Chains A and B, each alone.
Chain A
Amino acid sequence: MKKGMADMDPAALGYVQKYFEQFLPLSMDELKQLLTYCEIRQFPKKKIILQEGETDNYLNIVVSGLMRKFIRIKKTEQTLQLATEGHIINSEISFLKQVPSVLLLQTLEPTTLISLSYTKMMDALDHYPPGERLGRQILSRMYVKKDERRFARASLNVRERFLHYLEGHPHMLQRVPQKYLASYLNIKPETFSRLKHLVKTGKKSL
């Protein structure tokens, strides 16, 4: 389902403007111009929105809902990203190089996205004045987030990873099926179950 963004109400526009401030302050005119390149996409829960082998055509910001990015390896799945409100998600290599994706994207809740297609992005990079700078800032953010995850995965042990993540994202234990969280944190499901007492009983963590 697609919808234009021209008829967005002023309160919503103000909210979106504030969101983009973390990358680059945009005037209301610049914001409205930016939104003409974007579209709103809505999906029910449990919907695969990108299959492996497909080329990812979109860069997405989650407005509401929850998504995951994962990879199938033989018969198992490995969750690589969980994205909630305000997060950016896509299959980066597939989108940026326009090649078939090895990753899949799936909604876990009914999800609304602000999406920018590859064609519109190229158009905006040529014709929308803040486009290059905004693009660089968004890519920088994506890099830094990915690097944080990579570092946490390599530098923390199982217990530390569990606590580090849930301290930063306490609500995710309720929102995300445990098997996905365990996979994302690279923790065996049995171990994950055992570790849950650490947050439930309110024991002092690290």
Chain B
Amino acid sequence: MQTIYHSLLLFLNQFLHLSEDEFTILQKRTAVKHFNKKENLIEPGETDKHLYFTGRGLIREYFIRGKKQVTTDIITEGTITGSISSFLTGEPSHYCLQAMEPVTVLAISRIDLEELYSSDRKWERLGRVLTAHFLLQQEQHILDNIRFSVRERFVHFAEKHRDLLQRVPQKYLASYLNIEPETFSRLKHLLKKNKSLL
């Protein structure tokens, strides 16, 4: 269990340096949680009262439209997730978070975070830089979807996350990248022939 804390520290260090003592304070506020494959971390309509740091396994964010599931995010190890809007506003979540593999996370509750924020300006700062991180990630995804063609989106994703092409069912990847499943299948030849991607 040492490793999940270590990866959390590495993740947070990108934003802000935490001393050993500070990290211990944070660590005490977190709880390890396990989810089985296909188990939901959060259901649509539920209010998300936690943020999760993913130590192991993949998580899929989706919502339901009619009879279809629309995948809006695929969350890998070593990052923070949650139904962020629901967490921030205290309102029911539009999205569902589902474990795609056996998942281990560190969870921190909104109450614990609020207490940390009030205890020291350092935690306020961490909260602010993480919120900026969420905003930037979301904006980047929106812009990528608008700016890039189907082929470009596929190639960018494949270059960055080659491993996910094996780990994630194709229908979810296609939905996430906003590419028709048939087109997605056709684009896969770009990888097989080992052509230069762009």
Contacts and interface: CB of A to CB of B under 8 A. Distances in A.
A154 B139 contact: no
Interface in B31-70: 63, 65, 70
A103 B121 CA distance: 33
Interface string B77-93: 00000001100110000
A97 B136 contact: yes
Using C-beta atoms within 8 Å of the partner chain, give the interface range for chain B.
20 to 34
B85 A132 contact: no
A73 interface: yes
A150 B142 contact: yes
Interface in A123-157: 125, 132-133, 135-136, 139-140, 142-144, 146-148, 150-151, 154-155
B128 interface: yes
A102 B131 contact: no
A173 interface: no
B72 A154 contact: yes
Interface residues of A, number: 27
A92 B70 contact: no
A71 interface: yes
Contacts of B70: 154-155
B143 A102 contact: yes
Contact of A136 (B131, B139, B142): B131
B138 A147 contact: yes
A78 to B, nearest CB: 6
Contacts of B65: 154-155
B117 interface: yes
Given A139-B135, A143-B135, A102 B142 contact: no
Contacts of B151: none
Contacts of A97: 136
Given A136-B127, A143-B88, A155-B94, A92 B117 contact: no
A103 B135 CA distance: 16
Contacts of B185: none
Closest 4 pairs between A and B when the two form their complex, measured CB to CB:
A132-B124, A136-B128, A139-B131, A147-B85
Nearest to A142: B135
Given A71-B143, A92-B135, A144 B124 contact: no
A73 B85 contact: no
Which of A102, A103, A146 has most chain B Cβ within 10 Å? A146
A73 to B, nearest CB: 6
B156 interface: no
B131 A73 contact: no
Contacts of A135: 128
B15 interface: no
A128 to B, nearest CB: 11
B63 A132 contact: no
A96 interface: yes
